[in-house]
Structure 1
């Protein structure tokens, strides 16, 4: 039987798991709630037991947090593991672990227009850097640098830069957050939990991020206003990141919260806030922004990395 890959996109809230063949085609896809498992070893053990058949030969896991060496500790969940020990436990000949937005970056650059929602205008400059970022459990970032025949991905932790206010409304929001949290980072606002905080501050109502977005999409006034404020703040922060990286190759917005709000971007202040960075409005107006709506872009990126990993394991 041909060798297969074990792929996982391990977020703070849920984990998407699949297998893939040597050309990167996904199958046996599952989505698991992390709270249902005590550890990653438990989660993968249940998955492999349920699908049966021969064990995958190699694995590629994307995790929410920085990856530096063999010891991996997630940012938004109290899970940690040793890469070589986990590979042995799962019976894998090789295991690659990378940042979740690095995996997204490997995936989104190859997506077709059916998996992307364009926000505003702009035209990508061939060979220029591309930025991948977006809100989910946290706020992830990665930079894509095109090379002669491929590209290089540089993951970052942009969600942990400090959040700043530029309007009186934002100052009021920030004052509430400082009182509750102390020093406020960008992902305290631009994440699923951040959307909940923002809605409570703006409306006095307590709701889940899912219910806020669902109500906004159905036209509910308070929730729609919260999402518009959220997207304005996201536009400003992403505009900051685009200037920092000169991402003239384009910006991709991903993450579960970003994808869920895809239909709200066009009517929201996102694009205006993205461009409103004097004196560089024209430069930012030229940068295309696309929202990723593919259901599993992290697994697509992991499969691309895994395809090369399997090729390296096979004899020449």
Structure 2
């Protein structure tokens, strides 16, 4: 059964790894089995994710952006099986801040009661500027995401915030986010991977720009890269070598793509091994 940690305790755990020269790895998770394996592999935190939920249903990450389900209800439904399979690793949730009927502090208490130690707010900016501007006009836009981070910091719950550009990185750092992750859209690769027009070099350069902006606000902020062309260990290592990143967040790269490769390979192996000559 997973333990619940304060933000102070989570930061101390991560800083111990960073001080020891060890990179951080944080996977998204959509099932109890993958959570168990992710912890066994040494993940530093695990994020319960509605995008993972849809990926494990055979759909792409973007299915979570459509009105197919309530992203927060998915978290509450998944939490019991993931919490039951984790012993020590802090659990975060990719929770949406945009339901005006769910006050942030009530939301955070429900998450904590479910065994979750922090939030990785669902990134409204992935919908694009035009849509977000309309949401902002009616009070359910990006500002609520920032306020969700502020509330978590005040409640001593760990907050890992995504940023798509330097201004967002600065604002989230000012809001009290303990960690900032660059986001370059859904991950490419595999059977249901997205298409990205961002190259690995562009993602690396833009990540560093966002990191520098966040560090100017808080020199102790913990930094991650995620998404788009950063589709595997080699790509993640390239970003780590060439930026101030402390680690990598894997969505499809940490769960969907490895599952696709493993099941495809073993199915083909069985077909070959069982062939009657």
The structure whose residues are more often strand, as a share, is: 1
- Structure with the bigger RCO (C-alpha within 8 Å, sep 6+) is 1
**What TM-score does the superposition give when structure 1 sets the normalisation length?**
0.29
The structure whose residues are more often helix, as a share, is: 2
